[in-house]
């Protein structure tokens, strides 16, 4: 990296983003929350954070609740192998078809209230005591569809009955960046959910920068994010797109700086302390992963607007964060880890160590997020300060404001 | 009292009741309910045996379910999972829980729910 490059500031390449402080108001205002609901979340593809391989067989289903938009969405695999999404609402009198988060039906979806039966394709198959209804037009009583599409195995839904854009259009440049990433060789290894007393954007911001890892996670992050050649610079690269953004972060992971149990675990499988660039040649990674091909690479963040983050920590390891706004200052957070499946007992021990370490790191995030919301709501500050390497926060806020402004036209 | 661990690890017998627990939720609760002296005693007894325990566990191959394991092996494995659970307490925080962390009980492991296991 040349000296000239080092002195640059990414933010200066995006004059429309400015360099000043950002207002606190979007993090605390009820009016703003409602605009975000109506003009951003209701009009965007939302990643469920769940994957197609979680419901592999015909009749397997999952339910995604989107409280902000008052929706319960049933995603079910059809006999033809295709995934479809429907409102989880019986056409008889509106009962929830299922209350489970995951499940499997043998032959059909059956409402527990009065036994109406639907096919996995959403078609109304039969009505109990049908002869007692009046002029029942069954062909108009199929389940109400919800737009669904997938990328890299992740299931996305759109709550607009007629989305203005396809998922491909929404994703833009992202699929090309990660083409060749072995998403399908990895599976969800652990998944945690918490309801936090903070706004969705406070949670969003916490995963859009690497700045805090050197401080909040000083105990839990193995290795050093301190770049001795350039102590203030901990980011390797940013790319900002129309809505999404990606970043890449420095970290000299040697694997030797974890404790004794971590060293036992690292001999068996990748842990957070393992140097991912020593496990496989980064020059052969997908173009978007560690794009500067740095040996001292820690992780990349791919922000899939508006509610999903992928944190890549290696060619065979990533985490995800899915954000579901509940109210102005309540958010459901689903954090997951994806790794190659483990089989033997030593592999499972190694994975348990990795899981416990990442979980404890996420607990550090959780309490900080709630403390931040209290601070923002206290009235003590009206602005927040954003440094160059927090540019993804500045960009995310700008995109939200653009969508709100566009929605008014 | 019948032995509950393989012969080579008999001296860990005294930790079985407290630490050979069947789930992450149970192991996490035990960690948080223990004193650092209790955690450290368990850690100090387990760590020097870690390599030997992993070698023993490797010999169990690739079991389809834990129910297929010999009971002694399953118990030893659970002790090893508890070592993974307490490692951050000993090596990082020097206290049972995460320093200034979110209350662990609020961070629900979906992977231990009945719905998840039914997938």
Q: B111–A191: do the CB atoms touch at under 8 Å?
A: yes
Distance from CA of A389 to the nearest CA of B (A): 25
Instruction: Identify all chain B residues contacting A197, using CB atoms and an 8 Å cutoff.
Output: none
Distance separating alpha carbons of residues A305 and A114, to the nearest angstrom: 40
Which chain B residue shows the shortest CA-CA distance from A218? Answer: B92
Q: Please check whether residues A57 and A205 belong to one and the same domain.
A: no
Which sequence spans correspond to the domains of chain B?
Answer: 10-98
Contact B87 A195 (CB under 8 A): no
Residue with tokens 């925080």: B93
Are B49 and A224 contacting, i.e. CB atoms less than 8 angstroms apart?
no
Residue A40 resides in a domain: no
What is the CATH number for A322?
Answer: 3.90.380.10
Q: Do B39 and B89 contact (CB within 8 A), yes or no? A: yes
- Find the mean pLDDT for residues A209-215: 91
Alpha helices per DSSP H over A198-259: 200-206
A353 and B84 within 8 Å at the Cβ level: the answer is yes
The residue behind tokens 């009009």 is A43
- Per the CB < 8 A criterion, the answer to whether A249 and A300 are in contact is yes
Structural domain includes residue A192: yes
Cβ distance B101 to A364 less than 8 Å, yes or no, reads: yes
Rg (CA), chain A: 23
Q: What is the mean pLDDT of chain B?
A: 95
The count of domains in chain A is 2
Q: From the CA of B103, how many Å to the nearest CA of chain A?
A: 7
Residue A114: alpha-carbon gap to chain centroid? 37
Both A133 and A272 in a single domain? no
**How large is the angle between the packed helices B24-33 and A345-377, nearest 10 degrees?**
60
Tell whether A385 is covered by a domain.
yes
Same domain, residue pair A132 and A219: no
DSSP for A374-402, written as a single string: HHHHTTS-SEE---GGGHHHHHHHHHHHH
What's the CATH number where A68 sits? 2.102.10.10
Shared domain for A235 and A106, answered yes or no, is no
Which helix (H) or strand (E) segment is A33 a member of?
helix A30-39
* pLDDT over 90, % of chain A: 86
Give the model's pLDDT for residue A257: 64
Task: Tell whether A274 and A338 lie within a shared domain.
Answer: yes
> Is residue A97 a part of any domain in this protein?
yes
A210, A254, A289, A312, A319 from A299: Cα distances, Å: 9, 14, 9, 5, 10
Mean pLDDT of A160-168: 95
Among A102, A194, A261, A333, most B C-beta atoms within 10 A, so best to mutate, is: A261
C-beta of residue A79 within 8 angstroms of C-beta of residue A73: no
Do A265 and A247 sit in the same domain of this protein? yes
Partner-chain residue, chosen from B50, B57, B88, that has the shortest CB–CB distance to A360: B88
Q: Tens digits of per-residue pLDDT, B4-27?
A: 999 999 999 999 999 999 999 999
In contact, A62 and A50? CB cutoff 8 Å: yes
- Exposed (0-12), middle (13-18) or buried (19+): which is A55, by Cβ within 10 Å? buried
Of residues A245, A377, A214, the one with CA closest to residue A310 = A245
Distance CA A151, CA A27 (A): 30
Contact A259 B92 (CB under 8 A): yes
In A267-390, alpha helices (H): 276-279, 345-377
Question: Peptide bond preceding A306: is omega within 30 degrees of 0, i.e. cis?
Answer: yes
Is it the case that residue A3 has pLDDT exceeding 70? no
CB atoms within 10 A of CB B57: 21
- pLDDT tens sequence across B24-69: 999 999 999 999 999 999 999 999 999 999 999 999 888 878 888 9
Nearest CA in chain A to B53: A346
Taking contacts as CB-CB distances below 8 angstroms, the residues of chain A near B88 are 220, 356-357, 360
Provide the mean pLDDT of chain A: 94
Same domain as A51, residue A158: yes
Closest residue by Cα to residue B46 from B15, B71, B90, B88: B15
A106-127 residue pLDDT tens: 999 999 999 999 999 999 999 9
Asked whether the whole model's pTM tops 0.90, one would answer: yes
CA distance linking residue A76 with residue A88, whole number of Å: 11
A100, A261, A370 ranked by CB distance to B115: nearest: A100
Q: Is A223 left (phi over 0), alpha (psi -120 to 50) or beta?
A: left
Specify whether the CB–CB gap between A83 and A76 falls below 8 A: yes
Final residue of a domain: which of A118, A143, A164? A164
Q: Is A331 domain-assigned?
A: yes
Same-domain status, A273 and A213: yes
Nearest chain B Cα distance for residue A230, angstroms = 27
- Quote the CA–CA distance of A107 and A120 in Å, as a whole number: 8
Contact assignment for A190 to B101 by CB distance below 8 Å: no
A58 pLDDT band, cuts 50/70/90, is very high
For residue A29, report the phi and psi dihedrals to the nearest 5 degrees: -90, 135
Q: Do A349 and B84 touch (CB under 8 A)?
A: yes
- Residue A95 structural domain: 46-164
Closest to B100 (Cβ–Cβ): which among A60, A355, A364? Answer: A364
Residue A31 placed within a domain: no
Q: CB neighbours (10 Å) of residue A387? A: 14
Residues of chain A found within 8 Å of residue B115, distances taken between Cβ atoms: 100-103
Report yes or no: A361 and B101 within 8 Å, Cβ to Cβ.
no
Q: Which of A191, A261, A362 sits opposite B87 (nearest CB)?
A: A261
Alpha helix locations (H) across A132-275?
Answer: 167-171, 174-177, 200-206, 260-266
Asked if residue A116 lies in contact with residue A126, where contact means CB atoms within 8 angstroms, the answer is yes
Q: CA distances (Å), B71 to each of A162, A321, B32, B60, in order? A: 57, 37, 26, 12
Q: How far apart are CA A5 and CA A160, in angstroms?
A: 44
How close, in Å, is residue A176 to chain B by CA atoms? Answer: 31
> Quick one: which of A83, A18, A31, A80 has its CA closest to A55?
A83
Q: Which two tokens stand for residue A321?
A: 């964060």
Let me know whether A246 and A382 are in one domain: yes
Q: What is the CA radius of gyration of chain B?
A: 15
pLDDT digits (tens, 9 = 90+) for B97-113: 999 999 999 999 999 99
**Amino acid A223: pLDDT:** 62
């Amino acid at each position: 990296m040349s000296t000239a490059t080092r002195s640059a500031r990414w933010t200066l390449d995006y004059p429309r983003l400015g360099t000043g402080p950002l207002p606190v108001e979007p993090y605390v205002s009820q009016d703003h929350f409602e605009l975000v609901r109506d003009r951003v979340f209701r009009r965007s593809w939302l990643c469920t954070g769940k994957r197609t391989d979680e419901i592999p067989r015909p009749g397997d289903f999952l339910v995604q609740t989107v409280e902000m938009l008052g929706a319960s969405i049933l995603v079910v695999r059809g006999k033809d192998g295709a995934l479809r999404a429907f409102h989880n609402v019986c056409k008889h009198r509106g009962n929830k078809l299922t209350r489970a988060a995951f499940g499997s039906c043998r032959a059909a979806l059956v409402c527990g209230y009065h036994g109406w039966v639907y096919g996995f394709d959403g078609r109304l198959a039969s009505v109990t005591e049908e002869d007692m209804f009046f002029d029942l037009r069954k062909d108009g009583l199929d389940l109400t569809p919800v737009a669904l599409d997938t990328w890299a195995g992740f299931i996305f839904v759109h709550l607009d009955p007629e989305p203005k854009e396809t998922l491909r259009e929404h994703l833009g440049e992202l699929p090309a960046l990660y083409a060749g990433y072995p998403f399908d060789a990895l599976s969800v290894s652990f998944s945690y959910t918490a309801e936090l007393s903070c706004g969705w954007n406070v949670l969003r911001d916490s995963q859009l920068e690497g700045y805090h890892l050197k401080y909040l996670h000083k105990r839990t992050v193995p290795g050093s994010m301190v770049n001795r050649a350039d102590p203030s610079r901990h980011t390797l690269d940013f790319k900002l797109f129309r809505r999404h953004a990606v970043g890449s972060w420095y970290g000299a992971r040697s694997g030797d700086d974890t404790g004794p149990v971590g060293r036992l675990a690292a001999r068996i499988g990748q842990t957070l302390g393992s140097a991912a660039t020593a496990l496989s040649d980064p020059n052969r990674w997908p173009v978007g992963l560690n794009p500067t091909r740095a040996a001292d690479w820690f992780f990349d963040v791919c922000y899939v607007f508006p509610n999903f983050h992928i944190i890549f920590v290696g060619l065979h390891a990533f985490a995800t964060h899915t954000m579901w706004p509940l109210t102005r200052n309540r958010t459901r957070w689903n954090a997951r880890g994806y790794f190659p499946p483990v089989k033997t007992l030593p592999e499972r021990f190694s994975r348990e160590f990795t899981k416990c370490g990442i979980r404890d790191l996420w607990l550090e995030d959780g309490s900080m997020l709630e403390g931040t919301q209290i601070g923002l709501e206290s009235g003590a500050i009206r602005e927040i300060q954003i440094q160059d390497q927090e540019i993804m926060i500045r960009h995310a806020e700008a995109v939200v404001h653009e969508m709100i402004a566009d929605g008014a036209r | 009292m019948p032995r509950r661990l393989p012969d080579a690890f008999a001296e860990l017998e005294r930790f079985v009741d407290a630490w050979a627990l069947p789930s992450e939720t149970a192991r996490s609760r035990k960690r948080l309910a223990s004193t650092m002296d209790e955690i450290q005693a368990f850690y100090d007894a387990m760590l020097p045996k870690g390599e030997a325990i992993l070698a023993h566990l490797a010999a169990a191959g690739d079991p389809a379910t834990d129910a297929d394991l010999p009971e002694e092996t399953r118990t030893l494995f659970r002790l090893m999972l508890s070592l993974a659970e307490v490692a951050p307490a000993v090596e990082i925080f020097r206290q049972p829980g995460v320093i200034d962390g979110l209350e662990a009980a609020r961070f629900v492991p979906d992977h231990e729910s009945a719905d998840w296991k039914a997938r």
